[in-house]
Amino acid sequence: MSTPAVSDDAAPPWTLHPDRALPAEPGLRAIARQIHAATRDLPIVSMHGHVLAAELAADAPFPDPARLLVVPDHYLVRMLVSRGETLPRLGVPALDGSADVERDPREIWRRFCAGWRHFRGTPTRFWLEHELVEIFGATVPPSPDTADLLYDQLVARLAEPGFRPRALLDRFGIEVLATTDPAWDTLEHHTRLAEAGYGGRVVPTFRPDPLLELGRPGWRQDVDRLAAASGVAITGYATYLDALREQRRRFVAAGARATDHGHLLADTAPLPEAEASALVDQALRGVPVSTEQAQAFVAHMLFQMAAMSTEDGLVMQLHPGSLRDHSGTVAARYGADRGYDIPVGVEFTRALRPLLEAFGNHPRFRLVVFTMDESVYSRELAPLAGVYPALLLGAPWWFLDSPDGMRRFRERVTETAGFSNTTGFVDDTRAFCSIPARHDLARRIDAGYLARLVAEHRLPLDEAVEVAVDLAYVLPKTAYAPPTHPNRRTESAHP
């Protein structure tokens, strides 16, 4: 039973400050306002994220505020768990059904509102405030006293036709949205979207990670899925590669722009073909491979993925440096993506050398590298991106897509790599309604950074505005241009 909602008659409606996240110094803020005005209403190019194609294809109403905003958001869940909540109390069931999971979305929402204070100073709070006020028109901020009123306001909004997934694509101004899809995906949902007129606007991304990790439990079952989807019987290394190529071809035909790779390390050293073939044969027979062999095969396959990208033109995205499922107990009971992925240090200079030696100047190859290890920005990644034509720096990712994290990124990479060797902002979100909030924050932070360059007479205002537009819109479109698009580089393969 719900408790009576708190009346909002006693206070003015909740609003957000128009200068939020802009510089505090008045002179800089005035410049930043001008720069931000040029990007505020630009379309969103969302080239990497985890919104489900199935949800967009079905275009069904979102279920309730808790399952839209709380349960699937690992940023939000992990903070609440760190302060004493549990996954079952937040609506996350155990894989075997043994946990006494909370099924009342209103109660889940109350627990989120009770923990709202824990998000002070975090980007999660900035995004949620934007979503609640700018998208849903909420009149009160979350709190234990306002939880029911806020819940009822959101339920009323979600019942409106304008809040279905496809309608929100238009409302958010999303020009292109890339989903992330397993390499064995049949792409049936993307086919439905294309038939509904969304082909080229909602596009898949080829994610082969589980297939490249020979030592992972379930590898053989996923290889069987790849064989079924591709129509290629996988009997050894050669047919394994053929099946991957065939699926990449199907992804390209469905509008894919990129592949995505999220392994622990950035190593890209290829193995001798005979050794790689022997490892695949061993794994297909069910004979365990060692941790060292499995890591060496991942490095080999990242090199092979780059080679395939020179053939089909898919942009290669590399997201190393996350130790997945740090709590094995939680992963075993509740599954992956429950907030227990933790950053580790990553070495890039030597790790990427084999790949960049082979393909760093190739006219049909583009590699976008992301990191959660800030220590490598100025020491390794900016110098690499500042010389190899194929290498671009992805936006601050995951724990770094925060106001200060994005400022530090600009400060540490711009002097060496400039702006043009970056991709603009990539939101990497599972929470559909956070997409405009994340892009808005990135545009505000870039406006503030550029305002300082203007105030220090290092950049004229008109050029700062041009850079801001590039970062918000032009660079992501160019970096992830379709394989046959004229934006793709055509210069010589040699520097």
- Confidence (pLDDT) at 495: 30
Q: Does some domain include residue 192? A: yes
Half-sphere exposure of 130 (CA within 13 A, CB side): 23
Same domain assignment for residues 155 and 179: no
pLDDT of residue 7: 47
Q: What is the mean pLDDT of residues 372-385?
A: 96
1 pLDDT band, cuts 50/70/90, is very low
What is the Cα–Cα distance from 79 to 90, expressed in whole angstroms?
A: 12
Q: Is pLDDT above 80 for 272? A: yes
What SS3 class is residue 118?
Answer: helix
Task: Let me know if residue 410 belongs to a domain.
Answer: yes
Domain extent at residue 421: 165-479
Task: Please tell me the total count of domains within the chain.
Answer: 2
Burial of 220 (0-12, 13-18, 19+ CB in 10 A): middle
* Per-residue pLDDT at 489 exceeds 70: no
pLDDT tops 80 at residue 483:
no
Residue 129 has pLDDT above 60, yes or no: yes
Nearest to 56 by CA among 147, 160, 190: 190
Let me know: does 132 contact 27? Beta carbons within 8 Å. Answer: no
Claim to verify: residue 254 and residue 394 sit in the same structural domain: yes
Residue 484 has pLDDT above 70, yes or no: no
Residue 233 lies in a domain: yes
Q: How far apart are CA 30 and CA 24, in angstroms?
A: 10
Do residue 141 and residue 80 come from a single domain? yes
CATH at residue 140:
1.10.2020.10
pLDDT at residue 97, as a whole number: 85
Taking the CA atoms of 384, 389, 390 and 391 in sequence, report the sign of the dihedral they define: positive
| Arithmetic mean of pLDDT, 86-93 | 94
Examine the domain organization and report whether 182 and 246 are in the same domain. Answer: yes
For 263-282, what is the mean pLDDT?
98
- For residue 3, the model assigns a pLDDT of 41
pLDDT-derived band at 9 (thresholds 50, 70, 90) equals low
Query: What is the pLDDT at residue 337?
Result: 82
Dump pLDDT digits (tens) for 321-337: 999 899 999 889 888 88
Among residues 258, 260, 257, 253, the alpha carbon closest in space to that of 191 is found at 253
Least confident of 58-72, 183-197, 477-491: 477-491
pLDDT > 60? residue 461: yes
Q: pLDDT tens for residues 401-412?
A: 999 999 999 999
CB-based contacts of 329, cutoff 8 Å, min separation 6: none
Mean pLDDT of all residues in 143-159: 98
Residue 23 domain flag: no
Does residue 90 share a domain with residue 216?
Answer: no
Q: Are residues 406 and 347 in the same domain?
A: yes
Q: Is 7 part of a structural domain of the chain? A: no
251 and 226 share one domain? yes
* Judgement on whether residues 84 and 140 belong to the same structural domain of the protein: yes
Both 262 and 291 in a single domain?
Answer: yes
At residue 451, does pLDDT exceed 90?
yes
Question: Of the spans 11-15, 48-52, 109-113, which averages the highest pLDDT?
Answer: 109-113
Question: 46 - beta bridge partners?
Answer: 177
On whether both 173 and 148 belong to a single domain, the answer is no
Tell me whether residue 244 is in a domain. Answer: yes
Residue identified by tokens 């100073």 is: 121
Domain match, 346 and 473 both: yes
Assigned domain for 10 exists: no
Q: Which one, of 447, 430, 440, 455, lies nearest residue 177 by Cα?
A: 430
Residue, of 378 and 398, whose pLDDT is higher: 378
CATH number, domain with residue 201: 3.20.20.140
